[in-house]
Structure formats: C-alpha cells, structure tokens
Amino acid sequence: MDFSRPGFLMLPILLTSLAFLCVLVNAQTTVVVNGTASHSIPSTLWGQMFEDISHSGDGGLYAELLQNRAFQMVDVSDQATALSAWHSVNEAQLTVIEETIPVSSALPNALSVTIPNGSSSQVGVGNEGYFGIKVDSSETYNASLFYRFPTASSFNGIATVALQTSTGQILGATNVTLSGSQTSWLQVVATIQPTITANALTNNFTVTVDGAALAGQTINFAMFSLFPPTFKNRPNGMRVDIAETLSAMVPSFFRLPGGNNLEGQTVATRWQWNNTVGPLVDRPGRVGDWGYVNTDGVGLFEYLSWCEDLNMQAIMAVWSGFALGGTSIAEDDLGPYIQQAIDQINFAVGDPSESDAAALRASLGHPDPFPVAHIEIGNEDFFAPDTYTYRWNQFSTALQSAFPSLSFLATSDTFNPVLTPNPAEWDIHVYQTPSWFAENSFIYDGFERNGTHYFEGEYAAISTNPNDLFGTPADGRLTFPTMQSSTGEAAFMTGLERNSDIVFAASYAPLLNLWVQHVVNSQWTPNLVSFDSGNVYPSTSYYVQQLFSLNRGDEYLPSTLPDVSGTTFWSVVRNTSVTPNKIIIKVVNTIGIASNITFQLPFAVENTATVQLLTGAETDSNTPTAPNTVAPQSNTITVGDTFTYNAPGFSVSALTLTGST
C-alpha cells in the first residue's frame, strides 16, 4: 500500500493541453462515436490484487476454519497469546509447549492437554475459528490432527471430534481412536456430518476424551485442521462463497502474493516461496506484515492453482531486496536473493528437466507451467528509491536473461529515479478521493506512446478529505465504499479503458476484509469485499469492477471526449469476437443530478439494447448490516444510430448494443 501520497503525481505527461483535446459538455451532451477502432484492448485489463491483509487469506479466502491451528510463530512464554482462539473444555489444562520431539522441524510447538485428576466428563479443547464457524448440515467437514502421548499409557479408547454451539449443543460429531502407546506423532483424520444447521456463527470445534479414563494423563496435539467443502473440491482449497464471489467478477489476472505482505518487516520475515510449498506440516508460516501470523496454507502452488481455476494470468511479485523496516540488501550481497527469485519463477513456469524448483512443481502434480507472463520486482520501492536503482538493475538483468519471454515491472515512482535498464512496465498505486479519481480520468491521455506499459496495481477512493486521506472515519475516511466513491473510481476506469493501449491491467485494492462486529480488525478501509465467518458482503465498488469486467470489448472506439472538469464520463468499446458485433457503452454519472447523453453512431444497430445499471444515493453503502442497499439492475431500452440515454444520479451503466447485420 502507498501510505504517503498518490503515486500518480510523479508521472510525466505531455505538455499538450487536455482542454484542447476535449469537447466541453453540458447538461445535454452529444457524443459522436468513431467506427474505426483506435487500438485493441488487452485481455488482462480488469483483474484482482491480493495480499493477506485483514485476514483476507487466513480466515478468508483460504477455507481452513481453525485459527492458530498449528501454534505457528507463537511465544510459549506468553500463554494467553499462544492459546489464541483455543479454550479448555471441562477444565482440561492447556499449555502450548516447545516440543522436545516436534511434529516437524517447521512446526516446533504443540498443545499439551492434561486431564485433571477426578475428571468424569468429556474433557479436552475447543477452537472458536476465525470469530466463528459456520455449521451447515448439508455440508461435510474434514478434520485432522496429530497426537502423541509424551509418556506411554495403557489407554486405548476414543476421542470425540465435534462441532458444537457456544452453549454446548452438539451439531455433529465423530469418533477417532487414540492409543496410549503412541509416543511418536500420528495423524488421524475424521469426517463430521452435522445433523443440525446452526442458527448462529458462534460455534466451536472440539476434541474431547473420557476424563475418567484419562484422568491425570497428558496428550500432546499438533497441526489441527478443519475444512468445509472447498471451491472446485480442491484439497487445502478456497472457501466456496468467497471464491464464487471473486469468480463472478470474471477477473483476467491475479496479483500475488502482495503488496506489503511480500516484503517483511525484516529480511528474515519476508515472504519466501519455498517456505509455502509442500506438505502443510512442513510450512513454518511467518508473522505477516499486517500484524498476524500467516499459516502459508495458501502458498505459491495454491495461488497459481487458483489462477488456473479462474482462468486468470498471475502477476507474480518477487522479493527485491528491501524490507519494510528500512533494510536494503547491499549491492554486493544480492546474489542469493536473485537466485531465490529465479527459483520462484522456475517453480511457476520452468522446465522440470532443467530446474529443481520446476521439478518440485511437477512432483506436486503440475508438470506444465502455470499461466504467468508478468513478474513484479518488489513492491512500492519508492520507499527505498536510492537502493532500487542497483536492486532493479541486478534483478531485472538477471531475470530477463533467465526468462526472456516474461515481462518485468518496476515498482518505484515512474522515471524517478531513472532506472537501468529502462523498465518496459511499471506498477502504479494511488489512493485518493472520489473527486480526484474523476478529475484525473485523463491522466494517461497525455502519456507518451513510447513502448512503456502500465499496471494500475492498486487504486481506490478511500476518503472524502483530500487533506487527510489516511485519517479516521470522523475525518472522512471511508469504512465501506459508497456510491460517491464507486462512481469516482468508475470515472477513472473509463480513462483506463480509453488508454488501454498503454494500460494493460488494473485492480482495486484491498480485495478482501474480515469484518467482525464490535472488533477492531480491519487494518485498511474501504475494501472491495467484506465477509465474516458465514457471509460475504460485496460492496458498491465490487459491482463497479464486475460491471466493467463483464462488459469488455476487444477494441476501443474513439468518441467525443468528456469534459475534464465535468461530472459525466463514458467509454465505448466493441466486441468483435461475437457475430454480430456488440458495442458496449459505459456511462458514469458522479453527481446526484441525472444526465442526458445523446450518442451518434456511424453504423446501424438493432433497436433494443440491454442496460446494466448500478445507482444509489451519494452515501449509500453495502454493509454487513445492510448488505443489499445497492445492487445491479438490468433492463432494456430502445436505441438506434442516434439515441439518448438518461444516466441517473450517482450511477454506472453498461449499455450493450448489437450491430445490425
């Protein structure tokens, strides 16, 4: 994220006056459309940016239901934190320990459960999930855990693995066998088929034993897991409702793994691809850059498989030698980090016969390369521009030599400092006000056409206060997108589409946010999609992104330009992949007064067009308490080679016309 300023303001533009290029509009606007396309539109234009912020990965898109499942990266001297999300059932004594015989070198900690003397009931442990667990009797849940007895015992019995309400009502349960002679680690698996659907989300996962049979004894547990059904039934996969919501946007790319969460607060805590692949028990996790432990259950293989599942290209970032705490790797010491980046790229696209990393990918069941064409070297390196000059030089030179068919993006301010070799692609981030986005919808029009291409990798209208963009809600910071902010973004998007000869991709950020009422957990607002442990809440900006993505063209048709200081914006594209061709006109109105626009087309069209419309009041938002305040509407209108469209106040419209054969 860019916490400091809108990155766009550093960008050079041609001195040509935009006012000269524009035809001023008034309340009754006439737009003349040119039938000859100015350029083709890249298929990658609209997509998604992801990083694990606000539990968007662990506790979000990643379907794992248990929080703190493996006690990763916890300090055993701080038991309250080490036991986060866990609780005792019927007075079992719980202690997170550093195991003398760890389940793996990656997971040194375990949960020691001691059954009190005199116990007579079911005793054990419970996990609350990520602020709740949804339990549905129509779904089957897959559970697993590792256990061992630190001291051999004659016990041979069962443990009950269950889902239950906060008041103890059993929603579903099954039994697994435990043996007191098991002093080495053993994984047991269980399937839970609930018989009751819970009315609330405040449910728990529990593992209990007969207290009388095990009184005074200790069992150690490690690496618990609980999965509901996953998207496309992938093992270790994605949460269905969130995945379906993201899939419904029909994104063409997915930027991974971040974002700030790539960089690490220190060099040692940076995201490292090789720690995120292979068996879950061999993934140590890390303290992510947004203040909580990342399990890395969604690792590089899962990210890339997700891209395949949604038919997206991956825009993949590699660590570039800078940590957020301010450390830059010295110029002479970059070699091992460049090699790690080469290995990461080989894991994604390399030949298994030529690369150990690619061979690892093949061993995981994917011998063919994943869909990766663009590699980002770092993230927001305008925070360390002085060292990015040599870091970019060394990384880009080595990576381009190793992978000549891939494109590499720079992440500092464009052209400042001057980088060598000259980047062919740049990643640009901007967080601003709704009015800024509307007023700057022309910012790319003045860019030189010199072979350089741009990725609008993060953008969002986050505040109504230009003097305190990153302040509090009391000072204008938005908690959720509003129709005002979403129409400002949409106006900007018409400019991105108009300039898609040089803008090849764009993504709103952040993508996801775990929302828990009365809990301050949102590390960034607003977000495209909010969710809790059982529901998904698409925002008004989500529907704007979806509207643009669903209404793509493959070529851009020039037309009368909007007023640079106006309030109504449009873009016209044509889809030539279907016969007859479709002409798609997107119209954005950024104020509360309706706007009439007359379109003059140079070709005949059928007399009926479909309209997809998103409209609402200025401050209307979709929130967890009012999730359906604004939703897309569809209707039809009568059109011809000349027709007038009435754009409601604060609205985004997509008009689809059919060419007359």
As a whole number of angstroms, the distance between CA 143 and CA 187 comes to: 11
Quick one: CA dihedral 641, 592, 466, 619, positive or negative?
A: negative
Per residue in 501-537, pLDDT tens?
999 999 999 999 999 865 545 689 999 999 999 999 9
pTM of the model: 0.95
**Please, are residues 302 and 254 in contact by the beta-carbon 8 Å criterion?**
no
pLDDT of 6 over the 60 cut? no
Three-class secondary structure of residue 507 per DSSP: strand
Q: Which structure tokens are listed for 402?
A: 């190793």
- Cβ burial 150-180 (10 Å sphere, 16+ → b, else e): beebebeeebbbbbbbeeeeebbbbebebbb
The pLDDT of residue 175 is: 98
- pLDDT, mean of residues 45-62: 98
| Domains within the chain, CATH numbers bracketed | 45-61+233-552 (3.20.20.80), 79-227 (2.60.120.260)
As a whole number of angstroms, the distance between CA 491 and CA 587 comes to: 8
Residue 424's CB is within 10 A of a number of other CB atoms, namely 14
Residue 401's CB is within 10 A of a number of other CB atoms, namely 9
Residue 139's pLDDT band (cuts 50, 70, 90):
very high
Residue 2's pLDDT band (cuts 50, 70, 90):
very low
As a whole number of angstroms, the distance between CA 29 and CA 533 comes to: 47
Per residue in 390-448, pLDDT tens?
999 999 999 999 999 999 999 999 988 999 999 999 999 999 999 999 999 999 999 99
The pLDDT of residue 516 is: 85
As a whole number of angstroms, the distance between CA 197 and CA 138 comes to: 8
- pLDDT, mean of residues 49-62: 98
Residue 172 vs residues 140, 161, 397, 468: alpha-carbon distances, Å:
10, 9, 57, 50
- pLDDT, mean of residues 601-607: 97
pLDDT of 16 over the 90 cut? no
As a whole number of angstroms, the distance between CA 220 and CA 340 comes to: 36
Per residue in 307-321, pLDDT tens?
999 999 999 999 999
- pLDDT, mean of residues 293-309: 99
The pLDDT of residue 179 is: 99
The pLDDT of residue 14 is: 33
As a whole number of angstroms, the distance between CA 382 and CA 411 comes to: 7
Q: Where are the beta strands (DSSP E) in 544-641?
A: 555-556, 568-575, 582-589, 595-600, 608-615, 633-638
pLDDT of 13 over the 50 cut? no
Per residue in 617-653, pLDDT tens?
999 999 999 999 999 999 999 999 999 999 999 999 9
Residue 293's CB is within 10 A of a number of other CB atoms, namely 18
Strands 203-210 and 286-287: unpaired
- pLDDT, mean of residues 261-278: 98
Rounded percentage of the chain residues whose pLDDT exceeds 90: 94
